Structure 1
């Protein structure tokens, strides 16, 4: 049996990056003391969620992995505690800026970098202003304790991302997150957000671990942000599922904390094989997924059987 204990850290992010790094380090130490071997922190935990507004000076927050204070700090902590830590950070690579994760193994070495594939653009989640779409593709790392795949926040809404990592041999899927209120849509997206990831877990027979931030973060109007006034209430609800998508542990919406779960990786692999969902896949039938948009053919171009099917559907 290959067993691993995993933790999702939920925290509020202050205006002071040094304070956020201290908080993250304290939470990592607590999780490790509770037996966690892989510990997930929220997305971009070093800073408040700067993507709520557009400020050119915020580009200066981006660094290389070698220069990033949180990455360096977590490398030392991972080596000290013998834990694996995926670290979300704002990456600069030449003239490109990415929303990235450095996967730090239990000896403090960096297994590699994943750059966020799907970049959202909404009124108060203005990430296209800050981030270049990732160029790494989806990746899986063979860490000391498990083979892990990592997506970042908006990636978690796309089943294709989870399936790609599962096909690449992932045993656990991790999603560092910064998500909260939707002031324009006026909806509570927390249940939908969770169900979406539970679906990835169920479809791939693979645990999902999501770590979100909490707290209200406000933007005050000034000349540099075009007099924008707004706030986001990050709703926490960090959780871990089992291999069928059922929630094992979940945190609340407004308090920091650590959610833990233990997994038997051999048992999970046996379940994936037994269900046969990967055996029975038909990739040859899925070409439409890779097309930019559905192609509408004129009625004259349809085969008679397709016309009959179309009429039936109407």
Structure 2
């Protein structure tokens, strides 16, 4: 069986492990078991008719005496491109708008408060090719481009925060391209944008020919449903990147990605989950599916999931199918786990800061003791 035919780890576990052992295997692999989220029949039927995977789970917190539960539902969308890559650019964008709009409608049926799409969701993944045309034509304004306007309509229609990662064209600065996530409030207003901090340079895999390292730092967005941040794709490999979003107050960190099996799949189940544990927050890892045919890049393996600060995580979506994963989170869990493990209280940040300041100097000498 090829990588592009293998449905998911979860499906294989369920198929080949006895029910008696399966709960224990899941406990070891995924931590405390999450409760399955029930959906309206209309949503289940719509997902089946529209041909995408619909899954849901609940992350619970302990009841408290002084705080009510802080419940929020997040939706993660993974999808293939819709039209061939040689179709007109505007047709490709419109087809993806239609497809994702269909999935967002189901998310609304299920009470989702915040939805996040995959990295550069309005286009084929093209950032490691030598040619720039027509791929740069997919770039658009983060403030008033047609995709942002589309997301504003979704946000207002469904009372939903929309996180929309796009290829941004910054006309103010000479048409510079950025890998950007636009955050649209549930009011329909653009709350702001954040740019990809880390650009991969792995052999021939080099996205720096397309866009710049981000210059927005580690922005956190205060929404009606909680404080969120967006750690775009390659930033998940950098623990300090997650850490700084958390230090700025993020309760939920989304990680919209576009990554293929041979490059990163063994890391995928680990990094976002570890970040949730280390930073006392929820993390949402989103990856596209399918194969982009304009170059031999490999299979995008989906497997989107949500991880919690207590080390538990949801099952992943399919490796091969479009999907919507909905997670109901009690944000009280972030402080509860922080109080239990005290990673931030015990972090020696002043020591790290002092030593990092020295480490970036040209005359730095490693602190090595020799005989």
TM-score range for the pair, normalised by the shorter chain length: 0.7 to 0.9
Inter-CA distance 23–292: structure 2 relative to 1 (3 Å threshold): farther
- CA–CA separation in structure 2 for the residues paired with 1:216 and 1:277: 40
Question: In the comparison of the two structures, how many residue pairs are matched?
Answer: 289
Farther-moved stretch of structure 1 (288-297 vs 275-284): 288-297
Which of 105, 109, 132 lines up with 1:33 in the alignment?
109
Farther-moved stretch of structure 1 (268-277 vs 258-267): 268-277
What pairs up with 1:177-192 in 2 under 5 angstroms? 177-182=257-262, 189-192=264-267
Instruction: Encode CA deviations 1:155-174: one digit per residue, 9 max, x unaligned.
Output: 11111111111111111110
- CA–CA separation in structure 1 for the residues paired with 2:206 and 2:197: 15
SS of the equivalent of 2:345 reads coil
Inter-CA distance 295–234: structure 2 relative to 1 (3 Å threshold): farther
Partner of 2:167: 90
SS of the equivalent of 2:79 reads strand
Quick check: 1:144 aligned with 2:220?
A: no
Inter-CA distance 125–44: structure 2 relative to 1 (3 Å threshold): farther
Quick check: 1:71 aligned with 2:148?
A: yes
Which of 123, 126, 137 lines up with 1:50 in the alignment?
126
Which of 213, 220, 240 lines up with 2:306 in the alignment?
240
- CA–CA separation in structure 2 for the residues paired with 1:50 and 1:123: 16
- CA–CA separation in structure 1 for the residues paired with 2:197 and 2:321: 30
The Cα shift of 1:122 comes to: 3.7
Aligned partners of 2:278 and 2:309 also within 8 Å: no
Task: Quote the RMSD (CA, aligned, Å).
Answer: 2.1
Partner of 1:198: 273
The Cα shift of 1:181 comes to: 3.2
Aligned partners of 2:310 and 2:337 also within 8 Å: no
What pairs up with 1:114-263 in 2 under 5 angstroms? 114-122=194-202, 125-182=205-262, 189-219=264-294, 230-263=296-329
Aligned partners of 2:198 and 2:234 also within 8 Å: yes
Inter-CA distance 66–268: structure 2 relative to 1 (3 Å threshold): closer
Q: Which runs of 5+ in 2 are unaligned?
A: 1-68, 86-91
The Cα shift of 1:50 comes to: 1.5
Partner of 1:225: none
Quick check: 1:20 aligned with 2:20?
A: no
SS of the equivalent of 2:95 reads helix
Partner of 1:224: none
Q: Tell me which of the two structures has the higher relative contact order, counting C-alpha pairs closer than 8 angstroms and 6 or more residues apart.
A: 2
Q: TM-score, normalised by structure 2?
A: 0.73
Which of 176, 186, 201 lines up with 1:106 in the alignment?
186
- CA–CA separation in structure 1 for the residues paired with 2:130 and 2:360: 29
Q: TM-score, normalised by structure 1?
A: 0.86
The Cα shift of 1:179 comes to: 0.6
- CA–CA separation in structure 2 for the residues paired with 1:293 and 1:122: 25
Instruction: Encode CA deviations 1:78-133: one digit per residue, 9 max, x unaligned.
Output: 11100111100111112221000011111111111101110113456431111111
- CA–CA separation in structure 2 for the residues paired with 1:110 and 1:154: 25
Farther-moved stretch of structure 1 (122-131 vs 272-281): 122-131
The Cα shift of 1:42 comes to: 0.4
Aligned partners of 1:157 and 1:193 also within 8 Å: no
Inter-CA distance 282–231: structure 2 relative to 1 (3 Å threshold): closer
Farther-moved stretch of structure 1 (141-150 vs 268-277): 268-277
The Cα shift of 1:292 comes to: 4.3
- CA–CA separation in structure 1 for the residues paired with 2:169 and 2:212: 10
